[in-house]
Structure 1
Amino acid sequence: MSSFNTLELLSLAENIKAWGKELGFQQVGICDVDLSRHETPLQEWLNKGFSGEMNYMSEHGMKRARPDELLPGTVRVISVRLDYLPPDAEFAKTLKNKNQAYISRYALGRDYHKLLRARLKKLGEKIRSECQHLNFRPFVDSAPVLEHAIAEKAGIGWTGKHSLTINKEAGSWFFLGELFIDLPLPIDQKVEENCGSCQACLTICPTQAIVEPYVVDARRCISYLTIEQKGAIPEEYRKLIGNRIYGCDDCQLICPWNRYASITDEKDFHPRQQLMGKELLALFAWDENTFLKNTEGSAIRRIGHERWQRNIAVGLGNAPYSADIIAALEVALKNASELVAEHIHWAIEQQEDKSLFLEEVTENRLTERLIRSIEKGLPRDA
């Protein structure tokens, strides 16, 4: 690695931020690799089992909080922000229509992992052109990295009570990526926290997964349940999931800071027509080939067709009563895997319970009308 004096490093840091903007990043920050204050909270979180089936969270020990162990020689981390809020997101409209499938808005477009990593690699190569022996490595959810802690330290934003990074100008609708480097660049200042006394995200979480400010029990989180959970979704959470078949945005939707978020300029993050605002029954009808075709290049594909059907079955169970829904569930049951069949049986039970309830309501209303009709015909002194 070439040697640089202080002024040259300052100039290079400014250039790196400018190059990052040219590559499409909305923000670039730099921090050192001392994340030691996060080690105890991380271990406590793991000890409580809050990581659920995500065994990779504990497999690497404290390496997640020690960047220089992940990539020996690392002395700085460059953190980048890439906004993804799509136009016409129709959050409330889709959530209210229980016959439609709600998909977390980050997943409606192209999978961000490859796009973001490719740009980080270009940024690293650009820096290397200035110092030939530079060692760098880009990360986008691909290794044990505390991305939110890094983003906070690099001045991208502060960690909100929902554990996501919040920026005053951009809210939290953005992706994060990291570039580990062995160049002692000047670092940025940490951003002051601005959540104050707000508890909105804790209150609105459908499953109360935010067990205390800044602490999320993944096992209760709808994003975890619909994406990371490989087996059956616990029954206690199925009704609470509603029509959310892939991820959940509730804690971000309620956050006051997201009123300042801007629509992304990235066309790749705009919603795909085959995923946006679609009926649950229409998506449930996809066979595996159709699923793979319609989710090509999408983050959704990683859960596979089986879990896709599992999630939609839960959504159909939570939808308003429909004979068409029961018929579709019964047809799918014939060739369903054991996992999907369990959720289909549950969904059918929910639909049948609603049918009985509607029958009782209808019968009660008819009885009330009959009584009123009889009463109207009775003498006043009867």
Structure 2
Amino acid sequence: MSQGSGVEQAIARVARQLDGWAHTLGFSQIGVADVDLSSAEQPLLDWLAAGFHGEMGYMQAHGLKRARPAELVPGTVRVITARMAYLPLGTAEGWVEHEWQRQERPGEAIVSVYARGRDYHKVLRQRLQALADQIAEAVGPFGYRVFTDSAPVLEVELAARSGLGWRGKHTLALSREGGSMFFLGEIFVDLALPLTEPVTPHCGSCEACIQACPTQAILTPYQLDARRCISYLTIEQGGPIPVEFRRAMGNRIYGCDDCQLACPWNKYAQRSTLPDFDEREPLGGAQLLELWAWNEAEFLRRTEGGAIRRIGHERWRRNLAVALGNALAAGAVDAAAMKAALVAEREASSPLVREHIDWALAQAAP
């Protein structure tokens, strides 16, 4: 047997076993994409030129490497794509309606579903590495690099090209089997694995996500202005939250799920098979006042190992101040306690937080 045919047989064996290995590691689906993303280059450049990335300068810093995997990781000929469901295992059937109802309780704090458990970066990176290790056992040493929302990678584009789903009008990846409640990860490899076929888009004429967005961040189908997105504002925005978007934030203090809650395909959202994404107390239903009482040490302790920690205590307080202001405007039953808590922390707060406290107090009903 020639060396070349031996490698080809090993690659064919990996292709047959990849799905099984991935499911054992907790992934919902695996695909394989080509590295030619040239058709995505101009849309990326146009989006950046419009400034829709806001303060996310890292999206512009790498230029077209996002659309050129073989330049980002020399030697790459395929990208293994993976999706992993993140709805907690015990999530009830009526979870979508439950999440909508929480917005009607102004004193309650809403953290995006994906951020209530362990930091997904850590979970996916470890399991993608384990998958790469299994491939290495089958073919021997090979060139690869693991990514999970951690480098200039066009994740949704690669997911769509490899059949994990299609790009929804909210710009997230959508799957008929799993809605959009999943994370994406990739392994750039120098193995010529057989490609998996893309799937047909199934959004049709539906624009529920566009209509549901509280800040009209989805300008047109497939066009998102991140600067208007509540997820961006509460996580990526470094300074003051623009006044014109504060009321629309409601009681969302970290991220926003509205476009996903409105999407009909999420009735098929899958539960995670891993305990990592189970809700940590009290992130599934805490009161704003409870979270406002956390000092920085308590914040760091409570968010250890989670995605929320990355924004830091100051942005956390900034977001909470906005939510408390919206609760005051809504006539929350504990309005007096909220005002007292805001006033008590005003002088000791940073200028950024103090400005949001002042805004919040000004929202109180006369």
**Structure-1 separation of matches of 2:274 and 2:14:** 27
How far 1:128 moved relative to its partner? 1.1
Partner of 2:103, secondary structure, is: helix
**Structure-2 separation of matches of 1:7 and 1:129:** 14
The aligned residue for residue 30 of structure 2 is 28
How far 1:323 moved relative to its partner? 1.4
The aligned residue for residue 343 of structure 2 is 330
How far 1:8 moved relative to its partner? 4.9
Change (3 A) 1:147 1:316: same
From 345, 349, 363, give the equivalent of 2:358: 345
The aligned residue for residue 47 of structure 1 is 49
The aligned residue for residue 245 of structure 1 is 253
**Structure-2 separation of matches of 1:166 and 1:311:** 29
The aligned residue for residue 105 of structure 1 is 113
In the alignment, structure 1 residue 63 sits paired with structure 2 residue 65: yes
Query: How is 1:206-225 mapped onto 2 (pairs within 5 angstroms)?
Result: 206-225=214-233
Deviations 1:117-151, CA, capped at 9 Å, x for gaps: 01111111111112223111100111100000000
TM-score normalised over the length of structure 2: 0.94
In the alignment, structure 1 residue 148 sits paired with structure 2 residue 156: yes
From 211, 224, 233, give the equivalent of 1:203: 211
Q: Is the 8 A contact 2:77 2:192 kept in 1?
A: yes
> Of the two structures, which has the highest relative contact order with CA contacts closer than 8 Å and spacing of 6 or more?
2
TM-score normalised over the length of structure 1: 0.90
Partner of 2:80, secondary structure, is: strand
Greater shift after overlay, 2-11 or 67-76? Answer: 2-11
Q: Is the 8 A contact 2:11 2:139 kept in 1?
A: no
In the alignment, structure 1 residue 286 sits paired with structure 2 residue 294: yes
How far 1:7 moved relative to its partner? 5.7
The aligned residue for residue 125 of structure 1 is 133
Partner of 1:3, secondary structure, is: helix
* Aligned amino acid, residue 277 of structure 1: G
Partner of 1:245, secondary structure, is: strand
Gaps of 5+ in 2: none
How far 1:94 moved relative to its partner? 1.8
How far 1:230 moved relative to its partner? 0.5
The aligned residue for residue 3 of structure 1 is 4
**Structure-1 separation of matches of 2:136 and 2:8:** 18
**Structure-1 separation of matches of 2:12 and 2:202:** 29
Which structure's CA Rg is the greater one?
A: 1
Deviations 1:169-213, CA, capped at 9 Å, x for gaps: 110000000000000010000111000000100011000000110
* Aligned amino acid, residue 145 of structure 2: R
In the alignment, structure 1 residue 192 sits paired with structure 2 residue 205: no
How far 1:48 moved relative to its partner? 0.3
How far 1:9 moved relative to its partner? 3.3
From 14, 17, 20, give the equivalent of 1:18: 20
How far 1:6 moved relative to its partner? 5.5
**Structure-1 separation of matches of 2:104 and 2:144:** 46
Corresponding residue pairs, total: 352
Greater shift after overlay, 2-11 or 62-71? Answer: 2-11
How far 1:263 moved relative to its partner? 2.0
Greater shift after overlay, 262-271 or 67-76? Answer: 262-271
Q: In angstroms, what is the RMSD of aligned CA positions?
A: 1.2
* Aligned amino acid, residue 235 of structure 1: V
